Amino acid sequence: MSSNGNAKHVKVLVLGSGPTGYSAALYAARAELKPVVLTGMQLGGQAALTYTIENYPGFPEGVGGAQLGELFQKQAEHFGAVTEFDMANSVDLSKRPFKVTTDNGEYLADALIIGTGASPTHLNVPGEVELTGRGVSYCATCDGWFFKDKKVVVVGGGDSALEEALFITRYASSVTIVHRRDELRAGAILQKRAKEHPKINFIWNTVVTEVLGTEKLEALKLRNVKTGEETILETDGLFIFIGHIPNTQMFKGQLEMSDLGYIKVNEKMETSVPGVFAAGEAADPHFRQVVTSAGMGAAAAIQATRFLEAESE
């Protein structure tokens, strides 16, 4: 790392500290490129907020999300990656080295690897924002404990909703899953576990239209999408797991993206700007697994290495 004015000049800058970012950093570090990882808001990314990860190869008994994140970090740092607890706010990809402005300063990067991941989608109904942190949550591992012996509602029908609903049963007295269809999107194993769980029940074909409460969450207004019938359901907690949006806002207008905001990459993780690579959930609307994100991160770093090598030949 060298200084250019106040900016730090690095060969490879990695944005994001999840499975994507640290896998990229591991490969770039082993190529002796001394990558710098900007952690972003959440060290370890979304995976670090997951209680147990059962489908990352090499851990037959499963592994804690936070623990896996620490292992990723430790392994990358062992080979020379540097972690900076910093957040990128804007980028200038119009010329190289690329300029990245952060909370704490400025970086110039010969190659950039984007692993900024995704954030939970909101319901966008009245009361949701006001009561977030007062009964409304997007993270069961973070907040599940607060709902000991309480009634909790989970919204969503995908893997996240069911996995997190099962986790919350450790604490809550009951977990009601509200889903907008009568068929779950989640995988078969999770469906079976949730349907057989004595604390879990389902409300089908139903959406939350309002989150009610003054100081804290008290109830939800629900609407059956088939009959139009509206009901009030009292609850202490609302956990929302209805998908994710990619954290790619700052690249808008500079990189080609899909309509949903995923960065377009080719099979080599190359974006529309040479020298900028993207991997993991910022670029992947299809798989969004720890193992696929890690794989994409590694591929991005291999390609970044080739890109820098070709230049120095």
Give the footprint of ligand NAP on this chain (CB under 6 A).
55, 123, 155-161, 163, 180-181, 185, 207, 241-244, 288
Token duo for residue 258: 């899909």
Closest to ligand NAP by CB, 8 vs 288, is 288
Shortest Cβ distance from residue 173 to ligand NAP (Å)? Answer: 24
Given the residues 143, 159, 236, 284, the one annotated as active site:
143
Residue nearest to ligand NAP (CB): 158
Token duo for residue 62: 């499963």
Residue 142 among the catalytic residues: yes
Nearest to 158 by CA among 112, 191, 198: 191
* Segment (H or E) for 135: none
CA dihedral 176, 179, 181, 184 (to 10 degrees): -80
Residue 79 in contact with residue 64, Cβ under 8 Å?
Answer: no
Shortest Cβ distance from residue 269 to ligand NAP (Å)? Answer: 19
Residues with Cβ < 8 Å from 83, sequence gap 6 or more?
17, 36, 37, 39, 73, 77
Closest to ligand NAP by CB, 65 vs 275, is 65
Residue 279 in contact with residue 20, Cβ under 8 Å?
Answer: yes
Closest to ligand NAP by CB, 30 vs 185, is 185
Whole-number CA gyration radius for the chain: 21
Closest to ligand NAP by CB, 117 vs 156, is 156
Q: What are phi and psi of 216, to 5 degrees?
A: -145, 170
Residue 143 among the catalytic residues: yes
Shortest Cβ distance from residue 13 to ligand NAP (Å)? Answer: 27
Shortest Cβ distance from residue 32 to ligand NAP (Å)? Answer: 34
Residue 139 among the catalytic residues: yes
Shortest Cβ distance from residue 118 to ligand NAP (Å)? Answer: 9
Taking the C-alpha atoms of residue 37 and residue 24, their distance in angstroms, rounded to an integer, is 9
Burial class (CB in 10 A: 0-12, 13-18, 19+), 218: middle
Closest to ligand NAP by CB, 48 vs 242, is 242
Residue 83 in contact with residue 17, Cβ under 8 Å?
Answer: yes
Catalytic machinery residues? 139, 142-143
